[in-house]
């Protein structure tokens, strides 16, 4: 059994335990394996172990990896459509076309301009691009995301765009070691999510929680948790990744 397979099993067990603690069905929480800086071989190992959703932060690296993995999948007895690719990094206006063309999900929309470009550049044959709005839930000056009080207006703009499907909200709260404080940030995002649903938006996704705060996120309703190094190991960054 490979290290990646063992790590996936351990992370999955932690997700199941947190879901049960929260009184939730374990399959109500999806694991998004964050494969940034790791090669196609690591993704293929995870796919062989049953992982199907992968997250990338860097546009060119992600696009190249999507192509490399797709080429190798038939050898594993898997079709290209078996995997879902999520873009979870910051989005520059000049990078929207490759994102719209190659990814199934985008978690980091924070401006109407970016959403408009993604909609215009989404190939019709690929179907709607799934969108989460990134919320700066902790109000950090250095953190990306729309301010909580501006989420509803942005959501209304995005939901009207063709070729996009607004699925929910995403956040990366300020790091906290205290479990209660972790929960508080995620609870604030969940309350925003609930208010949008109460206003009639058909949302189903809360993308929140990573390795260090996954348990708190699941207790507060996360439907997608984003885990990388706990699956693939320590990251090695280089200029080409960006």
Residue 88 covered by a domain: yes
| pLDDT(237) > 90 | no
| Domain extent for 229 | 3-19+28-233
Question: And the tokens for 15?
Answer: 């997700």
pLDDT the model gives residue 1: 75
Q: What is the rounded average pLDDT of the residues 20-27?
A: 96
- How far the first Cα of the chain sits from its last, in Å, is 32
Residue 71 covered by a domain: yes
- β-bridge mates for residue 87, sequence order: 56, 106
Residue 69 covered by a domain: yes
Residue 148 covered by a domain: yes
| pLDDT(242) > 70 | no
Residue 191 covered by a domain: yes
**CATH code, 211:** 3.20.20.10
| pLDDT(207) > 80 | yes
Residue 129 covered by a domain: yes
Residue 66 covered by a domain: yes
Q: Is 55 helix (H, G, I), strand (E, B) or coil?
A: strand
Residue 240 covered by a domain: no
Q: How many angstroms separate the Cα of 85 from the Cα of each of 60, 125, 174, 199?
A: 14, 16, 25, 29
As a whole number of angstroms, the distance between CA 91 and CA 120 comes to: 15
Q: What is the rounded average pLDDT of the residues 66-93?
A: 93
What's the pLDDT band for 140 if we cut at 50, 70, 90?
confident
Number of domains the chain is built from: 1
């Amino acid at each position: 059994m490979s290290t990646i397979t063992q790590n996936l099993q351990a992370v999955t067990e932690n997700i199941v335990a947190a879901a049960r603690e929260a009184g939730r069905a374990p399959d109500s929480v999806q694991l998004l394996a964050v494969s940034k800086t790791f090669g196609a071989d690591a993704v293929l190992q995870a796919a062989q172990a049953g992982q199907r959703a992968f997250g990338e932060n860097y546009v060119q690296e992600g696009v190249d990896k999507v192509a490399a993995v797709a080429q190798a999948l038939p050898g594993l007895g898997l079709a290209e459509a078996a995997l879902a690719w999520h873009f979870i990094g910051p989005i520059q206006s000049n990078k929207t076309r490759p994102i719209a063309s190659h990814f199934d999900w985008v978690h980091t929309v924070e401006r109407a301009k970016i959403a408009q470009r993604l909609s215009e550049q989404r190939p019709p044959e690929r179907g709607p691009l799934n969108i989460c709005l990134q919320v700066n839930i902790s109000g950090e000056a250095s953190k990306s995301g729309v301010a909580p009080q501006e989420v509803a207006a942005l959501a209304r703009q995005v939901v009207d765009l063709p070729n996009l499907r607004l699925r929910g909200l995403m956040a990366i709260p300020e790091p906290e070691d205290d479990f209660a404080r972790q929960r508080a940030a995620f609870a604030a995002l969940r309350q925003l999510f609930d208010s949008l649903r109460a206003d009639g938006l058909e949302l189903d996704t809360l993308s929140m929680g990573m390795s260090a705060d996954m348990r708190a996120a699941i207790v507060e309703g996360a439907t997608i948790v984003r885990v990388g190094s706990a699956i693939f190991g320590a990251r090695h960054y280089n200029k080409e990744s960006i």
